[in-house]
Amino acid sequence: MCGRNYLKPDFPLRIFYDGSCSVCSAEIEHYLRQDHGGRLVAVDIHAPDFNPELYHIGLDAFMYELHAIDRSGRIYRGVESFWAIWQAFPTSTLYGILGAVITMPLVNPVARSVYKVFARIRPYLPKKHVCASGTCDVSNRHSS
């Protein structure tokens, strides 16, 4: 494993996504559609009732990169969040391969760099559609 110790999440895993970002909402919705065991819970950080203080993480940090927090309180950020999400699908060959590849010593720094570029330009990406409320809630599993 590269740089960080990737510890498997203690499910359920709360995924903190920006509901005002249609790209982010679509990605999280994709994972939720595949989650048949209730291992993933989506939390819209753009929702009016979201309180980042509950997690001791600033809203700017939540907005900058994807966060996921497991039942034990372990925090995953950026690329590590995707790795944690993929662990929710233990029978998926694709996510298993992605999870293994993303932790490789030569791949991990590149993945982190690419993610940082995406995180910086994400607020400027054109929206695919405008959500009526200003936030694109992906499911009724929204939880804070």
Q: Where exactly are the structural domains of the chain?
A: 13-124
CB atoms within 10 A of CB 22: 17
Q: 79, 73, 68: which is closest to 17 by C-alpha?
A: 68
In the chain, pLDDT over 90 holds for what percent of residues? 72
Mean pLDDT score across all residues of the chain: 87
Q: What is the mean pLDDT of residues 25-54?
A: 95
Q: Flag whether pLDDT at 132 surpasses 50.
A: yes
For the CA atoms of the chain, what is the radius of gyration?
15
Supply the DSSP symbol for 102. Answer: H
Q: Which two tokens stand for residue 50?
A: 């979201």
